[in-house]
Structure 1
Amino acid sequence: MSKKKLQNSFKEFCKKNSFENNNHQIEVINLLEKFINPRKTFFDKFFKNKDKLCFYLHGNVGVGKTMILNFFYDQLKINKLRLHFNEFMINFHDFRHDKEDDNSIRSFVKDLKKQYELIYLDEFQVTNIVDAMILGKLFEIIFSENIKIIITTNTKLSDLYKDGLQREQFLPFISIIKNYSIQKELSLKDDYRLKDFNEEQRLYYPLNESTLFMINKDFRKLTRDKKKEIKKINTKGRDFIINNFYDGILRFKFSDLCDKNLGAEDYINISNISDHIFIEEIPIFNDDNSNQQLRFITLIDILYEKKIILSISLENDLNNLGSSRKHMQTFKRTISRLIELTKKT
């Protein structure tokens, strides 16, 4: 597709989905097109400049990174894979666990190479030392196989895993990405998802008898013709019981999902059987419940990825939910996504 045709298609896509488009987004679309279809100049050939294998798109919450990449990804007529970064790493660790040999990383990449020319990893973030220690080697091998990678993230490259445990061992990964990537920041003044925040939301706050009555009423309306079941989900030997399952409509308390030692894979398995989830009694966040907040951030990332409808009750409105100091920046994305997932259409 020509550059002009791609730009026009993007504008039509934005219009159809009621998204605003601007020159910053068009610039990203143009850079992505060049990344996929590099056109070598005489000087590139003369100096043997290598094509970049990674497109690293970063920017604040709600500027349209995922929206742009979803559009662009759908235009590509190549063998490709799109995954949330959490899912990608779960697949990687599962593969290594099953292989249990010294060449498991290379074997994993070889399998990718057989199937895909391009891998798009959405919401890239590094929060644990296990991933931090292995990413350098993994991506070094990925690039050695000439697999192209597109990354979206809220974090600029130099700030990845900032203040993380043994971060000095993570720095080679940053160098590898820097050498192989086109880095682009997407910035807008406003979060495009906040434009229609005055529309009705499936939000119930504060926590009192009135809001409990309202969320119960909406839940009964959706489930009155459905049969209640108790579902059991097993994730690597861990059983998780869902006591309120109504043919794709699930109901939980916040503590059911975030006080327990659940992770991304548990949340993915829950989302796979969900169309609409009710989450009640979401608290105000602070340093004392930062672990629960991190689980909640992971949960909402996955539900957003899977486009699960949400109804939630909260201790306070979204703008006054607080945050731990550790997760303050990341939580802005969560708030933005909650606005979108709870919007009544």
Structure 2
Amino acid sequence: MTMTPISYYLKKCHEGLLTQDQQQLDVLSHLQKIYYELLREQKKRTGLQRHFRSLKLMKGLYLWGGIGIGKTSLMDCFYECIPFKEKRRMHFHEFMRWIHAELKKYQGEKNPINKIADNIAKKTLLLCFDELIVNDITDAMLLARLFDALFSAGVCLVTTSNTHPDDLYYRGLQRPLFLPAIELLKRHTDVTHLMSQTDYRLRHFQQAGVFYTPDDESADAKMEAAFLVLAGHLPINHDSLKINDREIVVKKSTDDIVWFDFEVICHPPRSQHDYLALAHQYKMIFISHIPEISFCSKDVAALFIRLIDVFYDTKVKLIISSAVPIEQIYIEGIFKKDFARTCSRLIEMQSLSYFEATN
């Protein structure tokens, strides 16, 4: 018999994989209602009934809150219990990359967003996003049309975010054009705040010695030694890489390890699409000479935040050297709130448990 989200969560707690928390259970109660509604809706989704289904009136969930308090774990408990195949879970960065690739296929055609949304709806009753965040103006400008098309097609959305919908794309260029997307999210999902003072990930941290500061000759030597040990007997290359039809200079690389200088990997024309491509190709990435990026351009800060988001979600192992400790890399600027997540993830990415995870 299929487990419900609450029973699945309690089982994980009993196994010691999660820690029972009443606020998390309250959120799961909400998710369990959506779970039962989805089961009823899926039974109706046959033949012509699909075009008249009532799901467009059914709200999903927008779960937001602080870092490390279990939002993703709760969504995963919910998602794992959904017994039908018409479901899809993606990191939001990955989803937007896929959307842009689809748009290229429909270049020159009318209403490409509607066609993409309809194709999604044909195979997807439930769409789950992890870490919905909007920093890119191109994404911001198309999300209102995309959300409208998906909701109109009857797709139920469950998503996590560190930010209330009203604060998405805060201070972004041409933000008024993004406001309809916010209103659509609020209309078609129940906005729920998960509040907790506990960062559950911190309980499993053991430092693995993969962050070197200060950024001096000693740090360079330690990174060099680490690279050689990890490379083993594999041949080491110094040639540039070609990612998304653009050359990227590397310090050195093997089949599954690559080493960049910060100036190369976190400056335009780099993009999150480059980072996703690298994450799919390399299991371990070295980045040396990270400065205090508060004094860099906002483009550099935004790229660094996206880089960490992508590498964290894809479980890329990261070894880095920095001029300052993690909490001092970005101490002021318009991305200060976003960098709280980045800082937390950088800390977790040093842990042995993170390094033992499969990517």
**Do both share a fold (TM > 0.5)?**
yes
Matching of residues 133-212 of structure 1 within 5 Å: 133-197=141-205, 199-212=207-220
- Which ranges in structure 1 are unaligned for 5 or more consecutive residues? 40-47
Cα distance in 2 for residues equivalent to 1:301 and 1:25: 24
Amino acid at match of 1:147: V
3-state DSSP of counterpart to 1:195: helix
Match runs of 1:195-344 below 5 Å: 195-197=203-205, 199-229=207-237, 230=239, 232-235=241-244, 237-344=245-352
Go from structure 1 to structure 2 and tell me whether the alpha carbon gap of 1:76 and 1:106 turns closer, same or farther (over 3 Å shift): same
The CA distance in 1 between the partners of 2:92 and 2:134, in whole Å, is 9
Query: Percentage identity across aligned positions?
Result: 29
Matches within 5 A, 1:90-101: 90-99=97-106, 100-101=108-109
Give, in angstroms, the shift of residue 18 of structure 1.
4.9
Shift of 1:51: 4.6
> In the TM superposition, what is the alpha-carbon distance from 1:126 to its structure 2 partner?
1.8
Deviation of 1:110 (Å): 1.2
Matching residue of 1:84: 91
Distance 1:343 1:209, change over 3 A: same
TM (norm. structure 1) is: 0.88
What is the total number of aligned residue pairs between the two structures?
Answer: 336
Asked whether the 8 Å contact 1:285–1:324 carries over to 2, the reply is no
- The question of whether the paired residues in 2 share the 8 Å contact of 1:14 and 1:20 is answered with yes
**2:130 counterpart (122, 147, 152):** 122
One-letter code aligned to 1:182: D
Q: 1:244 to 1:12 in 2, by over 3 A?
A: farther
Q: Considering only aligned residues, what root-mean-square deviation do their CA atoms show, in Å?
A: 2.5
- Asked if structure 1 preserves the Cα contact closer than 8 Å seen for 2:64 and 2:161, the reply is yes
Aligned to 1:44: none
Of 147-156 and 252-261, more deviation after overlay is shown by 252-261
1:211 offset after TM fit, Å?
2.4
- What is the rounded CA distance, in whole Å, between the counterparts of 2:154 and 2:210 in structure 1? 45
Structure 1 counterpart of 2:21:
22
SS at match of 2:77: helix
Residue segments in structure 2 that go unaligned for 5+ positions in a row: 39-53, 354-359
Name the CA distance, whole Å, in 2 between partners of 1:153 and 1:70. Answer: 14
Q: Measure the CA separation in 1 of the matches of 2:287 and 2:311.
A: 12
CA contact (8 A) 1:123 1:151 kept: yes
Kindly indicate whether the alpha-carbon contact (under 8 Å) linking 1:233 and 1:270 is maintained by their aligned counterparts in 2.
no
SS at structure 1 position matched to 2:110: coil
Deviations 1:257-278 (CA, angstroms, capped at 9, x unpaired) = 1024111111111011111111
Task: Give the Cα–Cα distance (whole angstroms) in 1 for the partners of residues 145 and 158 of structure 2.
Answer: 18
Distance 1:36 1:51 in 2: 15
CA distance in 2, matches of 1:156, 1:83: 20
- Contact 2:2-2:81 within 8 A present in 1 as well: no
Tell me if the contact between 2:70 and 2:200 (Cα under 8 Å) persists in the aligned partners.
Answer: yes
Equivalent of residue 68 in structure 2, options 40, 62, 73: 62
Q: Which residue of 2 aligns with 1:43?
A: none
**CA distance in structure 2 between the aligned counterparts of 1:153 and 1:341, rounded to whole angstroms:** 20
CA contact (8 A) 2:59 2:189 kept: yes
Code of the residue aligned with 1:190 in structure 2: it is T
Distance 1:278 1:49, change over 3 A: closer
Q: Which amino acid aligns with 2:303?
A: R
Write the distance in 2 (CA, Å) between the matches of 1:233 and 1:252.
14
Spell out, residue by residue over 1:270-327, the C-alpha distance to the aligned partner (whole angstroms, 9 max, x if none).
0111111111111112143332121111011111111111111111221222334111
